[in-house]
Amino acid sequence: MQTERPMRGRQRARELLVQALYQWQLTGQQSDDLLEQFSARTEFSRIDQTYFRELFSAVLCDFKDLDALISEHADWDHDQLDAVSRAVLLLSLSEFKSRFEVPTKVVINEAVELAKRYGPTGSFRFINAVLESAAKQVGRGSELSKA
């Protein structure tokens, strides 16, 4: 039971992160304002708050490189990418690069589930393909070939 709580807290943090990154893309809101706004939500008490803050900061600090990775591995024109899919990819790629304790398959699984829940129909396939391709480039590919 102890191990389930941190995982659920991280799952919820990812969900809230996708929402925050979606809003950031659409509004251009300052990161401090977004953090304050999302910290005030009732569900914030039920997430891994440190995970949320660290990944939110990591995505915004590394945004240009993460966005370049998306463009490099996506078979869609960058302008056609919807804000939800982009938020999921930014979050997941940041996890690949900075959260080595999280297995690659977990990052991809979580991304696919978020895409199914919030993204356009079928976007989870695109997200899965981009992440599997990008995983190899950021040194996470060997985990995918393990059984």
Over the stretch 51-100, which tens digit does the pLDDT of each residue have?
999 999 999 999 999 999 999 998 766 677 899 999 999 999 999 999 99
Indicate whether 102 pLDDT > 50.
yes
Q: Say if CB 30 and CB 24 are below 8 A apart.
A: no
CATH topology of domain 4-138: N-utilizing Substance Protein B Homolog; Chain A (1.10.940)
Which tens digit of pLDDT belongs to each residue from 136-146? 887 776 666 65
pLDDT, average across residues 4-9: 64
**Token representation of residue 29:** 């809101």
What size, in residues, is the chain? 147
pLDDT digits (tens, 9 = 90+) for 19-34: 999 999 999 999 999 9
pTM: 0.89
